[in-house]
Amino acid sequence: MKLLNATYILLIALLSSCSAGYYFNKGDKAFNEMRYSVAIPHYENGLDKDRQVSYVEKLAHAYREVNDVEKAEFLYLEAAQSPDASPSVYFYLGKMHMGNSRMAEAIKAFTIYLEHEPDDVVARMLLAACWSVDDRYEDTTLYELNYINSGDELTNVFSPVQYKDGVVFTADKNVFLNSKTAGWTGYSYLDLYYMEKGDSGKWMSPQLLEGPINGKFHEGPATFTSDEQTVFFTRSNYSKRKMVLNENKENNLKIFKATLDGDKWKHLEELPFNSDDYSCGHPTLASDDKTLYFVSDMPGGYGGTDIYKSTLEDGVWSQPVNLGEAINTPGDEMFPYIHHDGTLYFSSDAHNTMGGLDVFMSYFHDGKWANPENLNYPLNTTWDDYGFSLLPDDTTGFVSSSRLEGGDRTYEFTKKPPTFNLIGISRKKGEETRVPGVTVSITRASDNKVFEMVSDANGEFKLKLQPEEEYYLVCTKEGCFTRTDNISTKGLKISQDFYADFEVEEIVIDKPIVLENIYYDFDKWNIREDAALELNKLVKLLNDNPTIHIEMGSHTDCRGTVNYNDVLSDKRAMAAVEYLAYRGIDKERLTWKGYGENVPIIECPSCYKCSEEEHQTNRRTEFKVKKM
């Protein structure tokens, strides 16, 4: 009886093991064919019977591919607990942590991964992005987003572009039992839809584009010529309703064009640079209709998918040119959009992303692309943000995002200019005492308009500044030194406050004012670079107060003979005057005097009993207002 029980237990164990293997094999077949939605239930069934870490990893990969970040993160965490986990688990775990806004955990995961793979450029970029993610929230007022409700039938809606009185976008939908589905996502195949706003301002029900442009498999995203008679769009590689596979059993994407025939899109034509061996897609046309930007994973790129361009020459599209390493990374660059002003917008999962895909912008200048700029929150999030397009008014547009549960969605946005404020405080020099009644005149350079304010009882004043402007500030109070400042908002893209802290100092005839940090080399009187920096402040003060005349005075400590110190201090004071004159101050306003050791600030009982700090205090340069 014991032998029979043992045999029965062994048989059950073997059947269980075989059952897990059966599901794993089914899952592998679907996974290798990139039918991730099909692979997921097979892997889950197998793992219910045998929790092999290699298949936990594969299930995590499958969930990542269908964009279920939370489940993928949970499974990568499980895999990471095993000593048999592959290093890539930590890389993808870091990405999932970023997608779920867990930056501290992402930093740990990327750090562990880089211990195994220190040369991985993308991992290093993502680790740096984790450390700087707070910068992406620096100004949350630049974009206002509103969700576009495209109806309950469509599941994932993305990449809208302007067409006629509305937009054309890409979408799939939920499917019913026995309906044809895309194995990757489990939803229907993608199609191109048109949607426009009604008189009430609400978006109307979307409609499929008419004609053979929408076929049996994937179509979209798309772009249109300026006359709206030709469309370039992404399509699955298929012929006569059957997928075309290469020798690796891969079905790649291609770019087609179609022309409008009546109210239907017909005359489909494949672009010449397509291939069965790699994908081309996500086209966008420049305003001249002769330059096409698109995405491809063709050989020779920087890794993942890169952005290329092709130009129309004598009716033929040229060999594609990679946009280079300023734009493309070993990660994925996707969904380019070229605006009429030549600005390139695109999405990337590398660069300084917040997590997943973020939208970036770049300009082509002096023969090269500028370093891409992240468009920041709220346009970007830790989820996937892509499919950006900007309307001709330069202030409104569209972006797609997976930030909501249940699929990708599209948003309208309004782009707002940054806001700038000047916040000023006037206080007594060297004190915290606020000074009311200070007149502040602010001149706007573009039209010379003057804004005049007076500091209030708290010594404060405030003014809203305009973008792309320069301002000149003059701060005055009777009997006090005038102070000036310059503020520029030119080129600034992030809202900020400018703080002007004006020191109010009464003008007292013959009162010595010490210039800090004016030093000379031993036995020298020439003006050093560090002294010049301080004297430049005096130049500005004299320019701000053109009616005052001053005396420059130089003092030594008590070391050395009296005659030596008198001569040395006189030369130093004269050198300071010569420097001020060199910087444009009228010599008629300047006199000098060397005081030697005769007017110390600290009296020493005998010279050798003074400390070095006391000698330094006595060894100084001053100026006095002699007349106004």
At 577, which CATH number?
A: 3.30.1330.60
Residue 1 belongs to a domain = no
Amino acid identity of residue 233, one-letter, is: F
Report the pLDDT value the prediction gives residue 511, as an integer from 0 to 100.
83
Question: Taking residues 560-582, what's their average pLDDT?
Answer: 90
Residue 567's Cβ-count burial label (10 Å; 0-12, 13-18, 19+) is middle
Higher pLDDT, 434 or 245: 434
- DSSP assignment, residue 622? E
Alpha helices in 253-332 (DSSP H): none
Last residue in a domain, options 442, 471, 504: 504
- Note whether 168 and 304 are same-domain residues: yes
The yes-or-no verdict on residue 8 having pLDDT over 80 is: no
- DSSP assignment, residue 609? G
Q: How many domains does the chain have?
A: 4
CATH number at 207 reads 2.120.10.30
Q: Which of 249-258, 280-289, 516-525 has the highest mean pLDDT?
A: 280-289
For residue 328, give both structure tokens: 């493309």
Question: Taking residues 91-118, what's their average pLDDT?
Answer: 94
Per-residue pLDDT tens over the stretch 373-391: 999 999 999 999 999 999 9
Residue 209 belongs to a domain = yes
Are residues 623 and 553 in contact, defined by beta-carbon separation less than 8 angstroms? Answer: yes
Question: Taking residues 535-551, what's their average pLDDT?
Answer: 87
If you average pLDDT over every residue of the chain, what do you get? 88
- The whole-angstrom separation of Cα 31 and Cα 39 is 5
Are residues 112 and 132 in contact, defined by beta-carbon separation less than 8 angstroms? Answer: no
- Note whether 370 and 383 are same-domain residues: yes
Per-residue pLDDT tens over the stretch 465-507: 999 999 998 888 888 888 888 999 998 988 999 998 888 888 7
Are residues 108 and 89 in contact, defined by beta-carbon separation less than 8 angstroms? Answer: no
- The whole-angstrom separation of Cα 164 and Cα 148 is 18
The yes-or-no verdict on residue 358 having pLDDT over 50 is: yes
Residue 3 belongs to a domain = no
Higher pLDDT, 482 or 171: 171
- Note whether 241 and 344 are same-domain residues: yes
Question: Taking residues 329-345, what's their average pLDDT?
Answer: 96
CATH number at 35 reads 1.25.40.10
Report the pLDDT value the prediction gives residue 622, as an integer from 0 to 100.
86
For residue 482, give both structure tokens: 């005038």
Question: Taking residues 103-123, what's their average pLDDT?
Answer: 95
Q: Which of 107, 38, 43, 93 is nearest to 64 (CA)?
A: 93
CB within 8 Å of 616: residues ≥ 6 apart: 557
- Note whether 249 and 323 are same-domain residues: yes
Q: Which of 427, 497, 439, 436 is nearest to 463 (CA)?
A: 497
Neighbours of 108 (CB within 10 A): 16
- The whole-angstrom separation of Cα 465 and Cα 489 is 8
Question: Taking residues 541-545, what's their average pLDDT?
Answer: 85
- Note whether 324 and 369 are same-domain residues: yes
- Note whether 276 and 290 are same-domain residues: yes
The yes-or-no verdict on residue 599 having pLDDT over 50 is: yes
Give CA separation, 384 vs 376, 446, 450, in Å. 13, 41, 47
Question: Taking residues 263-289, what's their average pLDDT?
Answer: 93
pLDDT band at 245 (very low <50, low <70, confident <90, very high): low
- The whole-angstrom separation of Cα 463 and Cα 480 is 23
CATH number at 461 reads 2.60.40.10
For residue 317, give both structure tokens: 């599209």
- The whole-angstrom separation of Cα 371 and Cα 548 is 49
Residue 600 belongs to a domain = yes
Range of the domain at 176: 143-415
SS3 573: helix
Residue 375 belongs to a domain = yes
- Note whether 94 and 176 are same-domain residues: no
Helix (H) / strand (E) containing 625: strand 621-627
Bridging pattern class, strands 549-555 and 590-596: parallel
Amino acid identity of residue 70, one-letter, is: E
CB within 8 Å of 18: residues ≥ 6 apart: none
- Alpha-carbon Rg for the chain in angstroms: 36
Are residues 384 and 363 in contact, defined by beta-carbon separation less than 8 angstroms? Answer: no
- Note whether 190 and 111 are same-domain residues: no
Are residues 307 and 289 in contact, defined by beta-carbon separation less than 8 angstroms? Answer: no
pLDDT band at 10 (very low <50, low <70, confident <90, very high): very low
Residue 7 belongs to a domain = no
Per-residue pLDDT tens over the stretch 189-224: 899 999 998 888 889 999 999 888 988 888 889 999
- Note whether 564 and 600 are same-domain residues: yes
Per-residue pLDDT tens over the stretch 600-618: 888 887 887 888 888 878 8
Report the pLDDT value the prediction gives residue 302, as an integer from 0 to 100.
94
- Note whether 407 and 426 are same-domain residues: no
- The whole-angstrom separation of Cα 400 and Cα 332 is 17
pLDDT band at 3 (very low <50, low <70, confident <90, very high): very low
Question: Taking residues 154-162, what's their average pLDDT?
Answer: 92
Residue 387 belongs to a domain = yes
Helix (H) / strand (E) containing 49: helix 36-49
Per-residue pLDDT tens over the stretch 42-88: 999 999 999 999 999 999 999 998 888 899 999 999 999 999 899 99
Name beta bridge partners: 462: 423
For residue 169, give both structure tokens: 């976008």
Last residue in a domain, options 472, 504, 536: 504
The yes-or-no verdict on residue 2 having pLDDT over 60 is: no
- The whole-angstrom separation of Cα 292 and Cα 310 is 5
- The whole-angstrom separation of Cα 626 and Cα 592 is 11
Helix (H) / strand (E) containing 259: strand 253-261
Tokens 């020798």 found at: 247
- The whole-angstrom separation of Cα 162 and Cα 390 is 9
Tell me if the bond preceding 378 is cis, omega within 30° of 0: yes
CB within 8 Å of 345: residues ≥ 6 apart: 336, 337, 338, 339, 359, 360, 361, 375, 388, 389, 390
- Note whether 255 and 400 are same-domain residues: yes
- Note whether 208 and 300 are same-domain residues: yes
Per-residue pLDDT tens over the stretch 444-469: 999 999 898 899 999 999 999 999 99
Last residue in a domain, options 109, 131, 153: 131
The yes-or-no verdict on residue 176 having pLDDT over 90 is: no
Per-residue pLDDT tens over the stretch 292-328: 999 999 999 998 999 999 999 998 999 999 999 999 9
Please compute, for residue 84, the number of CA atoms within 13 A of its CA located in the half-sphere on the CB side.
7
Residue 5 belongs to a domain = no
Are residues 292 and 284 in contact, defined by beta-carbon separation less than 8 angstroms? Answer: yes
